[in-house]
Structure 1
Amino acid sequence: MRKSTSTALGLTLGFVLDRIFADPRRWHPVAGFGTAAAALEKTTYADDRRAGVVHQVIAVGSVVGIGALAGRAGGRVVVTALATWTALGGRSLVRAGHAMADRLDAGDLTGARELLPSLCGRDPSVLDADGLTRAALESIAENTSDATVAPLLWGAVAGVPGLLGYRAVNTLDAMIGYRNSRYERFGWAAARTDDLANLAPARLTGALTIALAPLVGGSPSGAMRAWRRDAAKHPSPNAGVVEASMAGALGIGLGGRTQYRHGVELRPTLGDGPAPTSVDLRRAVRMSAIVQVGALVVTGAVAAIRYRR
């Protein structure tokens, strides 16, 4: 079987596995990587950017090396499929989004606050229903790229090492890529690497949101306008793209005062419309699911073109 065919087939099978089984509740490889990275940090940590670079190189380099060895083993389709399943989190994202909307509709703010940490790192204790809705919707938009589009694109471009390496980069950013007293310097490399790794995936996600917006009753022109006008206002070069395009597609407004556990950030306004409701959250979840399928089609074509060359 040609490498182009085996890679595209492996990505597709891994996507299907994610849709059927979602993330395993126990013994997840990403959780194992997080445990190993935390243990490594006890040795590598210093309040210095150079220490953070060393930590990043060791942690991510080890995973890329494992991916390279696995990719050279027999059964390339199976290995790619398992690596894809390991790297993806799209089904869990959609499921959490629906669960959040259900709890908000039921007026169960306690349950919604308990669920929010599975979506993002904001402090749920200070959020009311509107704040929980916005936090969940912005997380759905951003994680559509992080949890599905980016792993698929890196898998199409770099195979198993790309899949596993991207997931390691993204996990490290979630662990140490914060601007607080402990990680502002040590986590700098993790945050910048994650920004670079998501430049292309975020823009593919935005483009797919524009193209597929009519399938959820959304506006392609609104998505494009919000992206062009508002994305650059966001402190993240990637989250701004996906959040702005989602806001424009749904005709809502995102941004504002954002409470994280490490402090408060004032985010710019994205989009023109009113604050999102649980109805908008459900539309965003449907948009995410559709964009994920679109990303599979695009990245399968990318794999075919790349490896044929």
Structure 2
Amino acid sequence: MSSVQTTSRDLGVRAAGIAIGVLADAVFGDPRRGHPVAVFGAWAGRLEQRLYRPTRARGALYAALGAGLPTLGAAGLDRCCTGRPVARAGLTALATWTALGGTSLAREGARMATALENGRTPQARELLTHLCARDPSRLEPPELARATVESLAENTSDAVVAPLFWAAVAGPAGVIGYRAVNTLDAMVGYRSERYEQFGWAAARVDDVVNLLPSRLTAVLTVASAPVVRGSSARAWAVWRRDRNRHPSPNAGQCEASAAGALGVRLGGTNVYGGEVESRPVMGGDERLPGIADVRRAVRLGQCVGALAAVVCAGAVVVAAAVAGRGQKGGAA
């Protein structure tokens, strides 16, 4: 059997696995107990205790081991499934389901909307901690709504589009490696006295692996604007104008496009771990997000996730078809 034929078949299996993983997330969401990401996080926490020194070198070692070992493990399992398409599709589906968080993200957004609609500000403050690291203790409903819209926009990339992108590009190893990197960044990648140096490598690697997915998220957000009664033209204009105003090279892509799609203004003053950050505004002279915009942001994220699943799985199907035609042409 030629290598081209094997590639065509393997790509078809990968596409099937991605589709099954997306369906599993839609039906079941994240496991309530024993989530593999939580298990990984506990292991990574113990690894940090062993390796921690306030230096970039130790942080680089931590990032290499923390992301490299799960990636190698997933690649090894994938290789063991060679010649067994059902097992390989199942592994891809399991890895994709493990990494996806779209259903849970939408649920958290809907819970936040309900809390704000019913005037339950203390509950909304607690719910915000499920979405981001921002200090919610003094936030009132308008700022809670803004924080939620911004978090939903960014997390749609991190928890939905990026896992699908890396599953399409590199199968189980790609999606597991991505989730490992993203989790390490969430654990040590923010600037604090403890992690300023140690977390540098994890944060930079996370920036790199999200460069393309964040921009894909932005394009899909622009396309999804009409679903939330927005303008794709306006979303495109705001994204092009404001995408590089955010301190993150990737979060700004998602937040700027979401601001344009929803017709709201994002950015401003945020508090993280007692540190105050003032961020440039995205969305220009648009209004501040209201409580109703939280539900619109949930719908926007769901549409972006659905489009991402179609685009990523579809791209793998097209690649399989092209590889198959190449094999037939070579045989002729």
- TM-score, length-normalised on structure 1? 0.98
Paired positions, count = 309
Measure the CA separation in 2 of the matches of 1:132 and 1:155: 33
Alignment correspondent of 1:198: 210
Bigger Rg over Cα? 2
SS in 1 for 2:195: coil
Secondary structure of 1:285 counterpart: helix
Pair 1:7 & 2:14 matched: yes
User: 1:229 offset after TM fit, Å?
Assistant: 1.0
1:95 is the counterpart of 2:95: no
Measure how far apart 1:301 and its partner are.
2.2
Matched, 1:304 2:317: yes
1:178 Cα deviation after fit = 1.0
Task: Report 1:163-242 matches (<5 A).
Answer: 163-242=175-254
Q: Alpha-carbon deviation of 1:69?
A: 1.6
* Mapping of residues 254-273 of structure 1, within 5 Å: 254-272=266-284, 273=286
Is 2:287 the partner of 1:274? yes
Match of 2:173 in 1: 161
CA drift at 1:244 = 0.3
Deviates more, 1:154-163 or 1:265-274: 265-274
Of 290, 293, 305, which aligns to 2:306? Answer: 293
- Provide the secondary structure at the position in 2 that maps to 1:255: coil
2:97 equivalent to 1:85: yes
Residues 28-47 of structure 1: CA distance to partner in whole angstroms, max 9, x if unpaired?
Answer: 01001110111001111111
- The 2-side partners of 1:19 and 1:120 are apart by 22
Any runs of at least 4 consecutive aligned residues in structure 1 with deviations exceeding 6 A, and if so which? none
Of 142, 147, 151, 1:135 maps to 147
Aligned equivalents of 1:262, 1:294: Cα separation in 2: 38
- Aligned partner of 1:23: which letter? D
Structure 1: tracts of 5 or more residues without a match: none
Q: Would the aligned equivalents of 2:17 and 2:90 in 1 still touch at CA under 8 Å?
A: yes
Deviation at 1:306, TM superposition (A): 4.1
User: TM-score, normalised on structure 2?
Assistant: 0.91
Q: CA RMSD in A?
A: 1.1
CA distance in 2, matches of 1:248, 1:70: 43
Instruction: Tell me the percent identity.
Output: 51
Amino acid at match of 1:271: G
User: Where do 5+ consecutive residues of structure 2 fail to align?
Assistant: 1-7, 324-332
